[in-house]
Structure 1
Amino acid sequence: MNWKTCLLSVALGALSVFAFAPFEIYILAFLTIAGLVHLTRSATVKASAILGFSFGMGLYLGGVSWVYVSLSTYGGMPLWMGAIAVIGFAALLAVFTGLSTLIASWAARRFQCNFLLLFPFSWVVGEWCRSWVLTGFPWLDFGYTQVPAFLFSWAPIGGIYLVSFLTIALAVLLFHGINARSYRSPIAAAMVLLVSILISGVEWTEKDGKLITVGVVQANISIDEKWLETMRKQALDQYQSLTAELTTVDLVVWPETAIPYYANQTDERFWKAMVPKDVSVLAGILDHDGKNSYNSAVLNCAGNRAENQLYRKRHLVPFGEYQPLQFLFSWVFEYLSLPMSDFAKWEGLQPIQCGDSIRVGLSICYEDAFANEYRSHLGEANVLVNISEDAWFGDSLAPHQRKQFAQMRARELGRPMVRSANSGPSLFIDHHGQLLHSTPQFEVAIASRDVQPMTGHTPYMIIGNWIVWLALLVIFTPVGFGLLRKGR
């Protein structure tokens, strides 16, 4: 291995960014992974790990470059510090792609296993580890590249990681078919695609009652202005006037932190003034229990103005919403004075509903990126809702990548998803994960659609990440046998 090979691996990773939204050239996912397999298959264990890490650096430097926008534009971080932060963050994420190639290469050589067979399993283990280590960052999992393609139909069966596994497996088959000139690989790939088509029309869940009409309000209020004392009334007036145009809806959804007050600062009179009669509203708001502050949302049901149902965010954004490792980074927090960086997280189920017809499975901001957490906290919800403040990301790739998260969650759980974002895009997605409507970014907009609530359980809801446990079994069974031989 030389520096040119590493550079090629970086280029393959960077090219993979175009397989994700907003570009969605999903075929690139197969080609770039096949290229990585070609580079790592015959390399030493150490070289394989370095090449996997290099691939990850290209992928994440390009794919999560929007982190710089959040840190520099809104966090006040200078250019040099922002560049170091982005490179360091990309390197941290790239460790997990390096771990994937290392595991496949090491197990193949140590226990005489088939590298090509192990590679898809090791890749899934790497993605899964990235979803929980240091609170997790499950961004740019390769399964998301297949949202516009046939492999998307496997999401209700095994979730994002099964789609990732099949994506990597088809890339391996592509490599093997070309490298070994084998007819078996194209046949196997064709069978996977055929089954994908056959199951694409399966209804895993069923209709739950009649259609409800849901509206979203996209106020496009500047982050620099929304928390100013002088702007609060203007912001609320804007939400009130926009909502007044949605009089025929059952539920209207406002984005994250739409209301610039604490929940206990609102009362029945406030909600009667803000929301049309007979309309329920779900809105982002802050909450304080006397000790901790929470990034929250309230559901105020029509006909019950005096009572709000509260949801407090469970999975916080490191550095953005809480301060991890303060003994190391306290000087950074003091230097930047980051706003909204001292929230507490909430534990446990938080069902919110209006009667029996509107049962909301809510997520705030990037909580919808954590598939297993969403599945575990869904309860009896029949409609998924995500509220977000995507203005933090500016005009970057992040809001478009998050669209694919929302589509994947809808398909995994067999429920429609409504997404309201302050700066857009706000989305309506059906229970098959298909995008029905999207508002333009950085514009004031309202939209409404008829939404069909769904009930029942997809296989993924029942079994969860079974493909991950299978991958761990496949990978560590050879290790177990190896240890047994050594003991004897």
Structure 2
Amino acid sequence: MLSPAFRIPPLLSAALACASGAVMVLGFAPFGWYAFVLIGLLGFLVALNGASPRIGFLRGWLFGVGLMGFGVFWIRISLNEFGNMDTWVAHLLAGLFVSTIALFFGFVGWLVRRLDRGPAWRVPLLLFPGLYLLVEWLRGWLFTGFPWLSLGYTQIDGPLGGFAPIIGVYGVGLLILMSAGLLWGLLRWSARGRVLAALGLVVVWGGGMLLKQVTWTAPSGQGFRAAVVQASIPQSMKWDPDLLVSTMEIYWELTERNLDADLVVWPETAIPDFLHHVRDVLIDPMAARARQEGTEIVLGIPVMESDTGRHFNALLSLGSREDLYAKRHLVPFGEFMPLKTWLGPLVDLFQVPISDFSRGSAERPLLAVGDRLAGVSICYEDAFPAEVSQALPEAEFLINVSNDAWFGDSLAPHQHLEMARMRALENGRYLLRATNTGISAIIDQRGRVLGMVPSFVRGDFATEVRPYVGATPYVRLGNAPAIGLAAGLVLLGVGFVRLAPSRSADG
């Protein structure tokens, strides 16, 4: 990959790997400096140069520690402040989680170095982009998945975001990886190679800018006025039964000033009690008032089955008709306990209210809201693009409700909003996002935030929403093009292993 003259000492390479992962965080919300993602990927390539497969694994793992350590260490907040764990225990478990997720990046480093034979350009252009993207996709579903900080999110406001309605967040991520490879060539190849690399960058990034002007879906009928409300109830108080009445008064006050809207959306588990407990005293009177005002209300509430005792994290729509959606993709340890027979004692350790939800059985995430169909997701579900897209093309708009209060004043709410914006862009639909403590927002079909309620502010935001019909190429094809292209790059790169004579790691 690099000549011996450009080799750097082993300890410095290890530090570079970790720093490269850390600097990548600046490409994601709330920073949005997507150029830093390219810098981080180039640093990762340099750190892998000349390493054995074993050292490549270590440096890949260090890269992952930098990325996840700086990017998602906010999970310790939910463990420490809301899970009633001692600070040292929360930090230890958060560190263990980061170290475990970092193994995926170690696997990338090991594979790149294991397969590094043949022409020097093969790693930055074929193997590295393909392997990184395939492992990122694997991270998004293995063991229920943790798709946080997927590379494509950094381009929600960047030129490559134009590709999102075609190839989704994973496809955009692959283009970022290939761009890093072309930048590598721009710095390291011969004059002819540099010209080709520059042309490749112009085609990819210029193509993304042009695609941003393309409209993939079409507005349908008249728009309607929608509002999202944010009560900003502290997580430490949310589940206190003595505060249920005051909580409902806050939500209803926010709702009353938006009863001129056609739709009002409340956050995840906005009502911190089971539906059957509050049906007579709250839900039915509220539904009657909504019908009287010509308004639909969508709210988050736990639901219990009377015959089985199972309970669900659900969305309920009220007004001209009633419908219910139960969350299908649950958060391990937060909403259910994996391997419960063996890990059951950890339930008491985590002390999460109503943490033993059951998985909803709906085939598709659709909710009837008056005479319209909405594609819905509850909290973590909007991190899984293929699951959100299952609601299309029938869904005319999207709704996401969440409770990011678990993660306090950290990067998490900003990163989560960025994911919601990408779902709107991929699907060509408006998205209404209501959260407990922020950030609540209404997003248009191009992923642009039309307005928001900032974190830890009690308030609401209302605007005109346009229903849309049709399907983007991503909705029709899903992740298959991106994953297929990544696999093709790896297979092409592996082909060079068989065709090319063995060479040293210098390239």
TM range (shorter): over 0.9
The structural deviation recorded for 1:86 is 1.1
Is 1:269 the equivalent of 2:284?
yes
The structural deviation recorded for 1:42 is 3.0
Question: For the residues of structure 1 that align with 2:141 and 2:411, how far apart are their CA atoms?
Answer: 23
Task: Name the SS for the 1:448 alignment partner.
Answer: strand
Question: For the residues of structure 2 that align with 1:42 and 1:176, how far apart are their CA atoms?
Answer: 17
Task: Name the SS for the 2:325 alignment partner.
Answer: strand
Aligned to 1:21: 29
Aligned to 1:59: 67
The one-character-per-residue Cα deviations of 1:71-90 (angstroms, maximum 9, x if unpaired) are: 10000111221122111111
The structural deviation recorded for 1:57 is 0.3
**Contact 1:295-1:343 at 8 Å conserved across structures:** yes
Q: Among 204, 210, 214, which residue is 1:192 paired with? A: 204
Is 1:462 the equivalent of 2:479?
no
The one-character-per-residue Cα deviations of 1:199-227 (angstroms, maximum 9, x if unpaired) are: 11111001111111101110111222222
The structural deviation recorded for 1:331 is 3.1
**Number of matched pairs:** 480
Is 1:212 the equivalent of 2:212?
no
Distance 1:423 1:229, change over 3 A: same
Task: Name the SS for the 1:164 alignment partner.
Answer: helix
Task: Name the SS for the 1:183 alignment partner.
Answer: helix
**Contact 1:351-1:379 at 8 Å conserved across structures:** no
**Contact 1:207-1:454 at 8 Å conserved across structures:** yes
Code of the residue aligned with 2:162 in structure 1: it is: S
Aligned to 1:172: 181
The one-character-per-residue Cα deviations of 1:389-434 (angstroms, maximum 9, x if unpaired) are: 1111100000000111011101100101110011011111110111
The structural deviation recorded for 1:478 is 6.3
Aligned to 2:406: 392
**Contact 2:429-2:445 at 8 Å conserved across structures:** yes
Task: Name the SS for the 1:286 alignment partner.
Answer: strand
Question: For the residues of structure 2 that align with 1:6 and 1:165, how far apart are their CA atoms?
Answer: 25
Question: For the residues of structure 2 that align with 1:236 and 1:199, how far apart are their CA atoms?
Answer: 45
Aligned to 2:454: 440
**Contact 1:320-1:341 at 8 Å conserved across structures:** yes
Aligned to 1:100: 108
- Which stretches in structure 1 are left out of the alignment for 5+ residues? none
Task: Name the SS for the 1:386 alignment partner.
Answer: strand
Distance 1:230 1:355, change over 3 A: closer
Task: Name the SS for the 1:363 alignment partner.
Answer: strand
Paired residues for 1:314-463 under 5 Å: 314-347=328-361, 348-356=363-371, 358-378=372-392, 380-463=394-477
Aligned to 1:284: 300
Aligned to 2:12: 4
Task: Name the SS for the 2:324 alignment partner.
Answer: strand
Question: For the residues of structure 2 that align with 1:131 and 1:64, how far apart are their CA atoms?
Answer: 15
Q: Among 233, 241, 244, which residue is 1:232 paired with? A: 244
Distance 1:475 1:423, change over 3 A: same
TM-score by length of 1: 0.93
The one-character-per-residue Cα deviations of 1:38-62 (angstroms, maximum 9, x if unpaired) are: 2214322222222111111000011
The structural deviation recorded for 1:5 is 1.6
Aligned to 1:293: 311
Distance 1:274 1:284, change over 3 A: farther
Distance 1:480 1:180, change over 3 A: closer
Code of the residue aligned with 2:246 in structure 1: it is: Q
Is 1:203 the equivalent of 2:211?
no
Greater mean deviation of Cα atoms: 106-115 or 90-99: 106-115
Aligned to 2:254: 242
The structural deviation recorded for 1:483 is 9.6
Distance 1:483 1:198, change over 3 A: closer
Question: For the residues of structure 2 that align with 1:317 and 1:73, how far apart are their CA atoms?
Answer: 18
What is the root-mean-square deviation in Å for CA atoms of aligned residues? 2.2
Task: Name the SS for the 2:398 alignment partner.
Answer: strand
Aligned to 2:39: 31
The one-character-per-residue Cα deviations of 1:273-294 (angstroms, maximum 9, x if unpaired) are: 6646211000000111132110
Identical positions, percent = 35
Paired residues for 1:111-126 under 5 Å: 114-117=122-125, 118-126=127-135
Aligned to 1:77: 85
The one-character-per-residue Cα deviations of 1:358-382 (angstroms, maximum 9, x if unpaired) are: 3211000110000111112445101
**Contact 2:56-2:110 at 8 Å conserved across structures:** yes
Is 1:47 the equivalent of 2:55?
yes
Question: For the residues of structure 1 that align with 2:287 and 2:21, how far apart are their CA atoms?
Answer: 52
Distance 1:282 1:272, change over 3 A: closer
**Contact 2:274-2:303 at 8 Å conserved across structures:** yes
TM-score by length of 2: 0.90
